[in-house]
Structure 1
Amino acid sequence: MRFFAPVIALWALPLLALFVVLPQAADIEEQAVRDPLPATVVVGERERNYIQEAVLVFDLAPSAPVAVQVDGLVTSLHVASGDEITQGRDLVSLDGVKLRAHLGAQPFYRELGEGAKGSDVAELSAYLAATGHANTLGRDNAFSASMTKAVKAYQKSVGAAETGIFTPGLTIYVPPGVAQVRQVGATVGARLAAGDALLTGPDRPTSLAVEKSGEAPLRVLGLPGPFIAHLRATQLPLTSLTPEAPEVDALYTALVKGGATVTASEEGAPRATVSGVRISVAEPRTVGTVPAGAVFASPSGTLCVFVLDTESAGAGGKAEGSDAVVLAEAGPLEGELAVTAVDADLVGAAIVRDPSRLSADEHAACA
């Protein structure tokens, strides 16, 4: 044994150094260069726009019908389902006369010729110009000789008698929001009477509901507007999450034109769901930021941070005393890991970094 004991000891020493001494030395070395976490931290500041993917749900209603204003035999149809309706587009020919689309605030309602004055004369002047018949409006919105010439040119282009007097039946009024043909209600050879529907447009949105996408709660709920709807690189303004009908219609039209994914309801009330949209506040808000571990959750679910006076921290950042502050706002900060957004009025305050080390009495103050 006296001979073998030294040999065994010499053989075991390298193993002891490898499995025991070296790991302990590495831990000691790591502790020597590691900065200890402070007991307190100062609440930071960020600009937050709460951007988040959302689902927009539009309630729909049938659009107003597009009707003719004169009697006649349908001799030709110039539109079909799915066609776009633009100012001055040929829609139908009655008794060989082409009737063109008039997109405006209101339809023409009377004959207009030299001597007539009014807002409808100004509307006619703009309509003639938009359809390629330049003219000059008279003083005080008067029907001018220039307009007479333009009306004759317009009448010639549609196959009507060149009288120089404009009649409402030469156009078909298209109500606002009807920009596309859903269904044509007339056939060649049929007779139409004044007031009969020529075509209908798509259902139009009447109201909007903004809903969450996925399981995450919608962060913009409860926040004051205005907001922005983001569709790829396009930003669409939104005054509130429950806007009035004209704004709803404008938003829906912009989303459809922008290529948004629209899903129609299969049953129940007509409804369209638009996905692939993100919602944010238009003006970013300032929020405080703290490490996620600095937020304490009480058994009742109340969230708090423990705020200290700047003079209450002892040497080395040790907290000597703190007050629990209930958070009105607390949630993950998008784009940053382990960071929680808190009330803006806490920015600059010193708080306890790890409230789990506080006493039960201090925890009880978070209620």
Structure 2
Amino acid sequence: QTLTDSRTVDGDLGHGPSTTAVSRLPGTVTALPDTGAEITRGQQLFRVDDQSVTLMYGAMPAYRPLGPGTEGPDVQQLEENLAALGYAGFTVDDTYTGDTADAVARWQEDLGLPGTGRVDLGRVVFAADAVRVDSVTAELGDPVGPGSAVLSYTGIAKAVTVELETSEQRLATAGAEVTVTLPDGATTRGRIDEVSTRIVPGTGPEAQPTTTVEVVVGLPEQRAADAYTLASVDVTFTAAQRPDVLTVPVAALLALAEGGFGVEVVDEAAGTSRYVAVTTGLFADGRVEISGPGIAEGVTVGMPA
């Protein structure tokens, strides 16, 4: 038979985990997006003191001001965004040159900012791609400072979030395919995009924290989930599959005195039996793959009474 190590668990269909955007600038919140708004590269995320905080794409978060003479991957990330937004006249590399400053000044002036040619920390928020505003924490007129939460965002694409126990981590391999069953019973394929470990604090004074594995499943066929904004779904993970193997119930395995496992092979015609050492393979659904001399399809194997 084909032996499959799989598990179906509950998942939440939405837009994946949310990320909190904080202000790195001191001032007053003067503009905020609506919940559900989709924001792409170069667009305003929010405003502080009536000046725009802009979204750009990149994996590295902003952590310092950038200006002429600065070097590093964050400089290259900024330059890649400027080039994608149509600002030219500089070489995209890891060095912030005078030509970079000229392009930055033009970008600033287009946003109504002072054309200083330098990028203050907090003027840009980097995200992996376009974002969808999940919730807004701040209110218009709120004072903010470095570290003040303003809003949270997710990706735009629909995704499923699943929490597994640590003992089930074998099921979650980045890039692996899964099957997602929607509320109407229809199924669509999914792909594991992210796997991360989460430590959840205990709720009581003596409660111990628990560790879970958070899995984000992307949906290559986005239209399959168009009818749902938020929904509970079933996700079937397949950790391993062995086609056309010989299997017996796990309970048929015997621990041999010399070590390893065996099974009792029964000769029903002669009314005799003997113990045969076997090599075990995949365990799944209460059965185990076995092989070894004398093990073949149709052999009768003893089971404990």
Alignment TM class, shorter chain as reference: 0.5 to 0.7
Q: How does 1:144-159 map to 2 (within 5 A)?
A: 144-159=97-112
Task: Write out per-residue CA displacement over residues 300-329 of structure 1, whole angstroms, 9 at most, x where no aligned residue.
Answer: xxx966355xxxx9xxxx557432569979
Task: Write out per-residue CA displacement over residues 279-312 of structure 1, whole angstroms, 9 at most, x where no aligned residue.
Answer: 213453663058x9xx989xxxxx966355xxxx
Say if 2:190 and 2:219, in contact at 8 Å, map to a contact too.
no
Task: Write out per-residue CA displacement over residues 109-150 of structure 1, whole angstroms, 9 at most, x where no aligned residue.
Answer: 12412x3322332222123234443454366x2213432232
Report deviation, 1:225: 7.7
- The 2-side partners of 1:109 and 1:69 are apart by 10
The structure 2 residue matched to 1:229, chosen from 178, 203, 209, is 178
Task: Write out per-residue CA displacement over residues 169-219 of structure 1, whole angstroms, 9 at most, x where no aligned residue.
Answer: 422456x799543322333344433433221347xx9983269xxxxxxxx
> Which protein is richer in helix relative to its size?
1
Aligned residue for 2:216, secondary structure, equals: helix
Report deviation, 1:51: 4.3
- The 2-side partners of 1:194 and 1:206 are apart by 30
Say if 1:228 and 1:238, in contact at 8 Å, map to a contact too.
no
Alpha-carbon RMSD across the aligned residues, in angstroms, is 5.1
- The 2-side partners of 1:165 and 1:224 are apart by 47
- The 1-side partners of 2:89 and 2:83 are apart by 7
Report the equivalent of 2:265.
306
- The 2-side partners of 1:209 and 1:257 are apart by 24
User: Counterpart amino acid of 2:274?
Assistant: D
Report the equivalent of 1:349.
295
Structure index of larger Rg: 1
Report the equivalent of 2:147.
195
Aligned residue for 2:115, secondary structure, equals: coil
- Residue 90, structure 1, aligned to residue 44, structure 2: yes
- The 1-side partners of 2:62 and 2:282 are apart by 54
Say if 2:42 and 2:55, in contact at 8 Å, map to a contact too.
yes
Closer/same/farther in 2, CA of residues 81 and 351 from structure 1, 3 Å limit: closer
User: Counterpart amino acid of 1:168?
Assistant: L
- The 2-side partners of 1:50 and 1:177 are apart by 34
Q: How does 1:249-260 map to 2 (within 5 A)?
A: 251-252=215-216, 254=218, 259=225
- Residue 278, structure 1, aligned to residue 224, structure 2: no
Aligned residues: 262
* TM-score after normalising by structure 1: 0.52
Say if 2:190 and 2:217, in contact at 8 Å, map to a contact too.
no
Aligned residue for 1:54, secondary structure, equals: strand
- The 1-side partners of 2:169 and 2:61 are apart by 38
- Residue 105, structure 1, aligned to residue 33, structure 2: no
- Residue 76, structure 1, aligned to residue 57, structure 2: no
* TM-score after normalising by structure 2: 0.60
Report the equivalent of 2:22.
67
> Which protein is richer in strand relative to its size?
2
In structure 1, stretches of 5+ residues that fail to align are 1-45, 212-219, 265-273, 298-302, 334-339, 356-362
- Residue 322, structure 1, aligned to residue 273, structure 2: yes
Closer/same/farther in 2, CA of residues 347 and 87 from structure 1, 3 Å limit: farther
- Residue 48, structure 1, aligned to residue 6, structure 2: no
Q: How does 1:184-223 map to 2 (within 5 A)?
A: 184-201=136-153, 208-209=163-164
Percent identity, please. Answer: 21
Report the equivalent of 1:170.
123
